[in-house]
Amino acid sequence: MNDLSSRSHLIFGVVIQTKNNKTGDVTRSKISFVDLAGSERIKKSNPNVNKERLKESNAINLSLESLGGVIHELSNGNVAKNHIRYRDNKLTHLMKDSLGGNSKTLMFVNISPVDYNSQESMFSL
C-alpha cells in the first residue's frame, strides 16, 4: 500500500533433532516462523504504482487466498474426505508440514482500528 511495504513473505525454519543415547530413538521437530505480507487492495494503492508492483500485489493476494483455503479445509475436518490443496501455491506448499497432521499453529494478526482499513482488517480475521 506504500513504497515502504516489503511485498514479500518470510519463512524461517528451525529443525531440532535429538537422540536418546540409551534407546537410539531419534526425535525430529521443526519450528517455522512465518511473516506474511499483508493483502494489497489495488484501489487503495498509490495511483502511480507500476505494473511490476501490481503483479506483486496480485501474487501476495493469491498466496494469502490459497493459505486461507487450506486453513478452511483443515478446520472443517475435510482432511479425510478431500485432498488438501497445498500445492496450489508456493506459500502453502512450503508451509504444509506446519499446517496439517499433528502440527500446532499459532497466528498473530495485525489489524487496524481505523475505519478506512476495516475491510482489510475483516479480510485478515
Q: Residue 48 and residue 69: Cα distance in Å, rounded? A: 32
Per domain, the residue ranges of the chain are: 10-118
Q: Which amino acid is at 125?
A: L
Q: Residue 92 and residue 99: Cα distance in Å, rounded? A: 9
pLDDT digits (tens, 9 = 90+) for 86-118: 888 999 998 888 888 888 888 888 888 888 888
pLDDT digits (tens, 9 = 90+) for 26-77: 999 999 998 887 766 666 666 666 777 778 778 888 898 899 899 888 888 7
Supply the pTM of this predicted model. Answer: 0.74
Q: With beta carbons less than 8 A apart as the criterion, state whether 79 and 100 touch.
A: yes
pLDDT digits (tens, 9 = 90+) for 8-29: 788 899 999 999 999 999 999 9
Phi/psi at 114 (5° precision): -80, 135
Q: Residue 109 and residue 125: Cα distance in Å, rounded? A: 7
Please tell us whether the domain made up of 10-118 is placed in CATH 3.40.50.1100.
Answer: no
